[in-house]
Every structure is written in C-alpha cells, then in structure tokens.
Structure 1
C-alpha cells in the first residue's frame, strides 16, 4: 500500500472511531490488523473519544463463561456462608466497550453470548445457585488478526458490528494527528437525540443495501446509526447526502457482495451535458430542446459512494462474481473434536466420579459452597471442617482433543490425459502440505490404473516426498475404479483407528472399465464402483469427488456425480478445479470440529 493509501486508510479508521464513540452502545467495530503501533494507536484514540469514566474491558480468547457472564464468587461464598454472585466482564463493561482479542478464533458460544448482550443490553444469570439480571449495555471492538479470507470473526458477531475496518497494511508512519477532538465527539453525543432521519434517507439506505447485494437486515439499520452520528458530528440536525455517503463508505461498502453497474444517474453533473447542443452548453434559456437535468436519486449517490470506498481489486472480483466459487464453510483447519477425560484443551467441568477423569477442585468447591450452612447444621460430628464435600459435589474436567486430519487423494492414473490430472493433484497437494505444516495434518495418495490400486504415498507431511513420487508416476491402462475406492476405504479405516480424521478426495472421470474380478466390463465396473462408494458412506466418511471428464460440465448424469452421491460427498467439475480452487474445496469438505 502506498503512503497516500495508508494515510487514507488511517483517516477513514480514525473517523470511524469518532463516529462509533458518538453512539457506541449496541454496536461495534471489527478491526482487522496485526498487533502493532497502528492498532494500538487506534484503540488509544477510541479510549480518548469515549465518555469520561466509560469502562473499556479486554476479553481474552479462551475466556470462560464464569469470567464472561459471572457466577458464584467462591471465596466470598465460603466467607459469608451463602451464595455470593461474581460480576462478569459483560456486566463490568456496562456503559462502555468490550474489546475481544483474536476475534477470528472466537468460539461460536462466546460470540453468541456477546451478540445477545448487544441485542438486549443485559444478561440473565442463573447458575451455581445464583440468579440475577445485570445490565450489559456495551459496544464491541473485535480485534481480528486473521490473514486469510476464511479467518474472520463469527458471522453472527460481524453482522452486529457497524464498522469493518482494515489496518493490516498501515504502518506507524501513517498514524497522524487526529482530525476530530474529544470535545467535538462529546458535543455530538449530546446532540445525537435531536438528529432527524427523513423517510427518504431511510428508504435510500435500504435500496442501496439491496443493490450492493447485502442480505443482512441489520446492515441498513447500522448504516442509519452511522449517518445519524455523522450528522451530529457536523453539528447538524437533519441527515443529508453527506451523512449518507459516510454511512455508505463505512457501513455498506465492506459488506458489499456484488458490484452494481454504473447507471447514467451516477454520472457526475460536471460530466453530463457536454455534447454540443446539450442543455449545459445551450446559451439560450428559451431553447425548447433545453430540459432541466434531474438530480441523481439518493440511493444512486449512496451506491456511488460505496463503490468509491471498495478497493479496485475487490471491486473486480465482485464484478466477475468470484465469490460464487469460494468455499462457504471454514472447514479443514483441524480434524474433528474428540471429548477426552484426560488430555486436550479444557472445556469445562461436569459432575462425575473421581475415576472418570481429573478432579476440578475449584468447580467441586463451587458446587459444595451453597450447601455449607445446611450441612454444618445437620453435622453429626464436631470435626470442625471448613468445607464439607460430598460425592455428588465432585466435578471432573472435560477436555477437547483435536484430531489430526489426513487427506486421502484417490487418483485415476489411467488413460492418455493422466499427466494433466496428476498435475492438478500435484498443485493441490503442494498447497495442502503448506497448510499442513501449520495445522500438523497429513496427506496420503492412492493411485489406481491397469487392473489394481496401490497406496503410493502413506500418510505424510513431507512435501519433497510427495512431489518426488508424483513426478515419477506413470499413466495409462484400464480404470479399476472400484479397486481404488476399496483401497481408499481400507486406508481411511486405518487412519481412523489411529485416532485421526480421514478426508477422501477422488479425482476421476468416472468411466471405470475394470470390475472387481479384473474383467473388462464397463457396466459391471460402474456397479462395483457405486457399491464401493456406498460402503464408504456407511462410516460417515467426509468425501469430495472431482470430475476430470472433458464433458463433465454438460452432463447432468455424469458417473462421477453418481459416485459422489453414493458416497454422500461433494461434487466438483474439473473446469473449475485449478490447484487453488481444489485446495479450497478440500477445506470446505473437511469435517469441522
């Protein structure tokens, strides 16, 4: 990003900080940026803009429900001999801002609880013998440190945040003096209740959101909040086109999913009527041919402002509808989650006997604390125990253990075009292995040709070994498709027994001609392949079938499609399956935790 681009990005982000501080409660900001001076400067700027005394609390990634929502204060309960509630971070941030660290890795449950606080402005606590209703009128700043497009905060949370900012390429040199003072923001906050939003402005925002392909009903409402804050910051009382343009740039443009065509009404006035004889150049006001120009519709101005705020490369991708081929899921980052009693990441505690897992002392004392007065009153001994614990108070820790994912490529190496197909597989495996280096996942390769199938590459993370074997792989001969699926099923079962999660990727044209007995019978070969595919469906194996047939795009009854349906897997056509798209499709098909 050039110096001017960085300066513009910082100016837009600092303006958004001022607008958010004018009306922070019930809304928020998604700030995509790595830890660094630019992000720290923006957070400090927001803190200065917020009302004096407004709390700003930071929530860590692995925050527990007790810390977020509140619960039983164990120490106070043991001292008082009665249940004492502990205030959670949501209630502590009442009237201020909650900052979510590493929001791109936020769990769905935590995101849902924060979203509920944004919607309702309060939390209802009913746990551990404590029942209370607490105010949680908050704004949210989600710090997004993701690098890839699929690394985003949960959609339910993003939908409720008015501003989506990106400071990823802004250096500390671009951080300039603020254009808006804290006093101006405070004055705008006091003026905000007086701002009037005309009905036409509201209708224009809704129409512009629809034209930009935004399907969220909250988007125009959040854009209206931004427009009202902009109006108040200008010391005005009625929203005008300038405020709507600000809302379009900051609230609608980051959510756009399509690029609407430029219409004649969006042409700037200075460029219209330049033709000879037009009304602009006609010096005679009595000329019958001279007609007054109509002002562009308000929603046209909003769309034009949003288009100007969308980066050129993103606008080009929207115009070519590239998003239709992007994976909808965020799978493939890890294997399926396995609840364990002894190892993994802690995920809370449950009631259980000591032999069922590790004792969670804090939760055990928390469960026993409310019963202490009653147990002391009915105690038959004078042991003078500080805490009386019974067997039904025991709580054992549950752990979530991540399984490693093993992607099993099942490759059709028969026929004259085998090398082209293997070239696609090679590119995909290289991309997958690069990801596996980070995720600690594995890749295996099963090849079928002639009259048999073989495991060419057992599960491995070695990129050099995979490339070496693929480069030396010959092609040609018959297509024993059933043998390839049987070998892949056996390997998947072996992977599953090792505690890993298998993912099967079949690359073939589907035109099998060798049956299970090794005979050349095309009809029997297809029946055997469908039978092998149905056997893979029984254990619930995640699968993806990629059709390499040249006529795949024109055939609704393609054999590979039938095999994909028999496996209960996803189907992809080779014309769209370049190495990058293939890798993305594998991620989408992978089992999610």
Structure 2
C-alpha cells in the first residue's frame, strides 16, 4: 500500500506536467523532508514553477503602480502581475493561506489566468489543510504514506491498454461513479475525464480505454469521497415491476448502471484514505476554525497581523500607511499639477489617505461557574478541580486563562480570578466548602460581571456552567424557587445579550428540563454528563469549545 501511494503520487505529477491548466494542480500534504524534495524533483512541466507567498499583496498579485519608479520618473509606471507570464504557482504552507487570498486565486483560476497550482500543505491536525476553494480546483490530493520506496517512477508500459471507451460513455461512467461516492461537485468528473485523457497521452494513445478511466478515478475521487458505496450483495434488489398495457414487455427503462462499475468502484475504494469517515462533520455542528485557545479576531490599528489598508481620516489615533497613500496619489499628479502649477512637491488630497489596520487575536478565558450546593457538592467540586487542572496544563501552549466561580448558600463567590498559573490554581482549589441552596442566578451574575471585565482587558470569555439541580435561591437571597428560576432566566438573557459564549453541563442523574430551557436562554450547547469524572468533563468541554 505504501508503494502504491508513492507510485500514484509520482504518476499524478507526471500527468499534471502534461496539462497543468486543465488539471488545475495538486495538493501535496507532506512535511518538509528529503522524500518530499525527491517527489517534487520528478515534477518537470514545460512551464516554470514560481513560488507564491501567502503574504503577497494585491499590487504584486494582480499588478499595480510601481511607486518608486513612478516618483523618480514622474510618469505612471505599473508593476506586472504575478500571472503576467505563464507559470505554475507553488504555494508553500498552503494550510495557512488566508481565505481572502484563496478566493482571489480561485477567481483567477476560473478566469483562466493561472496555469495550475502546487499547494504544499504542511498541516498536522485534520483541520489544518489547504483552503477548500483551491483544493477543489486541483485534480489531485497527494499524501504518500511512509518512506519513499526509492522506486523510479516512470511510464509503466506493462499496464494493459484495456478496452476502447467512447467519450460519451466515459463521461457517463465517471459522473455516475462520482455520485456513488457522494461527490457533488461537477468539477470532479470533469477533472477525472481530463486525467484519463492525460494518461492516454502519456501512454501514447489518442483514444480512451477503461484502464485510463480506472487510473483517473483512482487519482481524482478518493480524497473527494464522502461515503463508501454498499457492496452489491448488501443491497436488496427491488421487486420487478408488474407488466401492464402501458409498459410493453419489450420496452426497457434506463437506469444508472455503470458498465464495469465494480471495477471502478473497487479501484476507488482501494485508494480511499483510512480516516475518510472520521473527517465527516455531524449535522448541527461546525468544523473547528482555528487553533486551540484562539479567541476572537479584532481589528486594531496598532498591533497584530497586517491587513490591507483602507481609506480614512487621520484622527490622532490611527496610523497612516505612507506607501499606500503615495500609491493612491501618484496617478493623479499630472492632473493636479495642471490645476495647481504653483505648488511644489507631491499634491496629496484627503481622499488619498490610507490607514494601517491589523488583525489582533485575543486570548480566551474559560469561566467555570460550579454548583457547590447540596450533599454531593464535594464530588462536583473535585470533578471541577480535576477538569480545570487538566485544561490548565495545556494553557501555556493554547494561551487559555481560567477562572472559577462557586455558588452555594445564598450567593456566589469568585474563588479564582483569571489566571494561567498552575501553582496558584492548585493552591486556591485545595479546600472549597459546599452545601446549602442553589443561587444559580447569583452565579450567572458573577460570571456576567467577570466576562465584562475580561473583555475590557482584551480577553474572549466563555462561561461554562456546571450544575445538577434547579435554582431555589433568588438574587435577593430569599428561598423562593419560582423567583429564583425567573432571576436565573433573566441573568441568562443578559449574558446572551452581552454576546458571551457559554456551555451548560448537566451533571444530574437524569437530564433536567429546566437546565435545557436555561441553555436555550443562553443560546449555549447543552451537555448531559451524569456522574462525570474530571477526564470526561475536560473532554466534553474541549469538544464543545472546539466543535
């Protein structure tokens, strides 16, 4: 199997070299290594390969004003675009490609401005991958397994030519095969057909055979598949239709049966990634969009990752982007010079001003609001202690802060302010008393105040409510179950209005309807974990936050 993946990768690059624009490109998911260098060395297209950095500005990507030459010559001089000369764009670290750049490159590919891509994907986690808009336009996804077997990849003349297939039949076979593997994109059968033609050209033929279709399906479909077709023996054949006068015996109805379908299906199945079904996302959930511990992205004018500048006015706090401002003013200099011949130097108008912008990533704060009431309070607190310590162990790498609020008796108390210190956390969690009523509204109120304070300090708070009972203590400290429920709902609504993320964990023996209603008021996920230990609690929190 390892040798097959390397052989398929080398064959795919040879086909891509024949028709880079038609096949779109290839995603190569490999870490930097001599094996990857050897694989890329076998890619020898007729067009030059040019690296396209993911930080490339628009004026270099699509062309723009050469500011230095324009100012020195007093004439408008423009830069050439990246795609001015036919090249194959190699994108290093494609898993970090910004969505805006991916959209621009996808649009350029649709307009036939590009001659193909090599997306070098060095991601480790499953969610670290090349952007979908570009990967969908590339015919191949190459991820060879193990070490390179050092077998020279060339044209295998021993492959039988196979049976002649008409173009119309090839289109039908590839399209129906894509539907059986749950592939909905129309690009897939188109790229598969172009791959089959490239393989026929590589083998020195001017016609398609079933061998070309099998190889094309093996190279194009596996990484796009979303389901595995059932085996023929697992499917129950429908009963034959009854004969009638409207359906004569000699008439036959069209079906979607594929000639030699089993051969093509088995070929794609053999090349399916082993973790295909693990990558599917259940209904109602979303993929993880960032790394662990990532908070909200905010636009800043002082620090962070640079963003494209935007027109604006100087207000004493924003920073001017001098290069972009001069670039905006340069084309208008001849016209402005005619209007104001007595002025010297550059003529800059307020509309030329461009301001710098930065994308700033805030740290995340996990606020645990723990129910410490009742006879089982110590058990719940011990579980919360263990979960917090497990999460805090990774806080140094993920940049998470942790806070702890316990509510019991008549009111809540902030036992642990936001911290990343493991020593301080263990010291503050060493002894926590429990018992009394359940002032749930007070716990939510303290969480809301702490969340608002943390936002003012640049953190992104998430409230994690851990409880196993209903509210029975109102905000004023009285034992009034009805008023306590109303106060808890009111505080949950206020927490939701503050746009603070939340998570409700029900640790009772049976799921509580009141807590489900409270999660709706918070617009937060509801997780039922009866008798959960620290490990399960930590896993549930991590899954809910990353999901």
3-state SS of paired residue (2:110):
helix
For 1:296 and 1:471, the matched residues in 2 are separated by: 68
TM-score, length-scaled by structure 2: 0.82
Taking a change above 3 Å as real, the CA distance of residues 359 and 382 of structure 1, as seen in their structure-2 partners, is: closer
Deviation per CA, 1:181-229, whole angstroms, max 9, x where unpaired? 6x99xxxxxxxxxx97643433333333333333433333333333333
Distance 2:73 2:165 in 1: 53
- 2:466 corresponding residue in structure 1: 507
CA distance, structure 1, for counterparts of residue 27 and residue 488 of structure 2:
49
Helix, strand or coil: the match of 1:335? strand
Identify the residue that residue 518 of structure 2 maps to in structure 1.
563
Q: Which moved more, 1:402-411 or 1:434-443?
A: 434-443
Question: Which residue number corresponds to residue 347 of structure 1?
Answer: 307
Moved more, 506-515 or 393-402: 506-515
Q: Distance in 2 between matches of 1:429 and 1:210?
A: 46
| Structure 1 counterpart of 2:211 | 242
Answer yes or no: is the 8 Å Cα contact 1:115–1:156 preserved in 2: yes
Q: What does 1:68-87 align with in structure 2 at a 5 Å threshold?
A: 68-87=61-80
Check whether the contact 1:214–1:255 (CA below 8 A) recurs between aligned residues.
yes
Query: Is the 1:533–1:567 Cα contact (8 Å) retained in structure 2?
Result: yes
Contact 2:369 2:404 in 1 (8 A): yes
Aligned to 1:60: 53
Kindly report which structure 2 residues correspond to 1:123-134, keeping only aligned pairs within 5 A, or say none.
none
Which sits farther off after the overlay, 223-232 or 487-496?
A: 223-232
CA drift of 1:427 comes to 6.8
Deviations 1:532-556 (A, max 9, x none): 100111121122323334433xx8x
Equivalences for residues 158-557 of structure 1 within 5 A: 158-167=135-144, 170-171=146-147, 174=148, 176-180=150-154, 198-264=167-233, 298-312=260-274, 314=275, 317=278, 327-331=286-290, 334-354=294-314, 355-381=316-342, 383=344, 385=345, 387-414=346-373, 429=388, 432-433=391-392, 436-463=395-422, 465-466=424-425, 473=432, 477-509=436-468, 511-552=470-511
Alpha-carbon separation, structure 1, partners of 2:17 and 2:369: 55
Partner of 1:275: none
Determine which structure has the larger helix proportion and give its number. 1
Contact 1:428 1:583 in 2 (8 A): no
Q: Contact (CA 8 Å) 1:326, 1:584: kept in 2 or not?
A: no
Cα shift at 1:296: 8.5
Structure 1 position 488, deviation (Å): 0.8
Once the 2 structures are TM-superposed, how far is the Cα of residue 162 of structure 1 from its aligned partner?
A: 1.9
State whether residues 226 and 277 of structure 2, in contact with CA within 8 Å, keep that contact through their aligned partners in structure 1: no
Q: Distance in 2 between matches of 1:431 and 1:477?
A: 28
Give the C-alpha shift of residue 253 in structure 1. Answer: 1.4
Q: How far apart, CA to CA, are the structure 2 residues paired with 1:406 and 1:109?
A: 28
Please say which of residues 395-404 and 374-383 is displaced more in the overlay.
Answer: 374-383
What is the distance in 1 between the residues matched to 2:297 and 2:277? 38
How many residues are treated as equivalent by the alignment?
A: 513
1:30 has 2:7 as partner: no
Cα 1:340–1:139, aligned 2, differ >3 Å: closer, same or farther? same
RMSD, matched Cα: 3.4
In 1, Cα distance between the equivalents of 2:169 and 2:537? 47
Q: Which residue of structure 1 lines up, in the alignment, with residue 81 of structure 2? A: 88
Would the alpha carbon gap of residues 560 and 397 (structure 1) be closer, same or farther in structure 2, given more than 3 Å must change? same
C-alpha separation in 1, matches of 2:472 and 2:343? 85
The worse-fitting range, judged by mean Cα deviation, of 543-552 and 468-477 is 468-477
How many Å separate the matches in 2 of 1:237 and 1:196? 12
- Whether the 8 Å CA contact 1:447–1:453 is kept in 2: the answer is yes
Structure 1 residue 112: deviation in Å? 0.2
* Equivalent-residue separation in structure 2 for 1:407 and 1:534 (angstroms): 19
SS at structure 1 position matched to 2:79 = strand
Worse overlay, 537-546 or 244-253? 244-253
2:365 and 2:403 in contact (8 A); partners too: yes
Is contact 2:369–2:406 with CA below 8 Å preserved after alignment? Answer: yes
Question: Could you say which residue in structure 1 is the equivalent of 2:115?
Answer: 138
Partner of 2:109: 118
* Counterpart Cα distance in 2 of 1:382 and 1:242: 74
The Cα of 1:116 is off from its aligned counterpart by: 0.5
Shift of 1:147: 1.4
Could you tell me which residue of structure 1 aligns to residue 253 of structure 2? none
Counterpart in the other structure of 2:99: 108
Deviation at 1:9, TM superposition (A): 3.2
Per the alignment, in what secondary structure is the counterpart of residue 20 of structure 2?
Answer: coil
| In structure 2, C-alpha distance between the alignment counterparts of 1:328 and 1:205, rounded to whole Å | 29
Q: What secondary structure is seen at the aligned counterpart in 2 of 1:70?
A: coil
Give the drift of 1:87: 1.8
* C-alpha deviation, 1:395, in angstroms: 2.6
Q: CA deviation at 1:244?
A: 3.3
Q: C-alpha distance in 1, partners of 2:152/2:305?
A: 43
- Partners in 2 of 1:232 and 1:414 — Cα distance? 76
Tell me the residue number matched to 2:90. 99
1:152 to 107, 129, 142: 129
Q: 2:296, 2:460 within 8 Å by CA — same for their partners in 1? A: yes
Q: CA deviation at 1:496?
A: 0.7
Q: Secondary structure at the match of 1:374?
A: helix
Q: Shift in Å at residue 391 of structure 1?
A: 4.5
Is the 8 Å Cα contact of residues 165 and 209 (structure 2) preserved in structure 1? no
2: CA distance between counterparts of 1:256 and 1:510? 45
Contact persistence 1:38–1:170 (CA under 8 A): no
Structure 2 portions without partners, runs of 5+: 158-163, 236-256
1:10 counterpart residue number: 6
Q: Distance in 1 between matches of 2:181 and 2:436?
A: 52
